Amino acid sequence: MSEDLNQNPDAPENTEPEVTEAQGVDEGLAEADLAEDEGVDNNAADEAENNIEAELAERTEDLQRVTAEYTNYRRRVERDRVSVVTGAKADVASELLPILDDLEMAEQHGDLTGPLKSMSDKLHSVMTSMKVEKFGEEGDEFDPNCHEAVQDTSSGDEKVLATVLRRGYRLEDRVLRNAMVIIGDPQ
């Protein structure tokens, strides 16, 4: 019976501590606060990650833009360099054209001999190395873009160079001097 006395018949058989309603509400609020804090931490981490990704994308775009600008700059400088070199060659060649005319005239009269012939050959080789070529041979078709007609003795629509008074010269695609010609009929 002593066992019966120690046990309270009114006491519940459950030995867990009794939770009051106020304690349950407090524990629920604590768990909600903890979940909210974790959510804030997760949101902050997501926001930081998004900021880093946005910054990375921005920097990548900046790098691509700078790379494209540099590539365009390099191309423009190379194109300008080639243009300056071609212009300088054209200027030098244009200044030498009267000398070539005199040497050609001397050759036609048979006066191109000895040291003068040697100088003429060297000058022609320099002009060839600069890719300066002469044009305007008798019998060529007349082209008003590169031939300067001083007289037209042709009677039809088909026109050719009858007489070349002065040779024309070009450097690659650039005409240095038009050929001075007399136009005639083809033979």
CB 157 within 8 A of CB 141: no
Q: Which positions ≥6 away from 100 have C-beta within 8 Å?
A: 123, 124, 127, 167, 169
pTM: 0.61
Q: List, in order of start, the domains of the chain with CATH numbers.
A: 133-187 (2.30.22.10)
96 closest CA partner among 177, 183, 39 = 177
Q: Which residue has the tokens 């070539």?
A: 100
Cα–Cα nearest to 171, from 123, 129, 119, 125: 129
**pLDDT for position 10:** 55
Q: What pLDDT, on a 0 to 100 scale, did the predictor assign at position 99?
A: 94
**pLDDT tens-place values along the chain, 187 residues long:** 444 445 555 555 555 555 555 455 455 555 555 555 555 567 888 888 899 999 999 999 999 999 999 999 999 999 999 999 999 999 999 999 999 999 999 999 999 899 999 999 999 999 999 999 999 999 999 999 999 999 998 888 889 999 999 999 999 889 999 999 999 988 7
Q: What is the pLDDT of residue 161?
A: 93
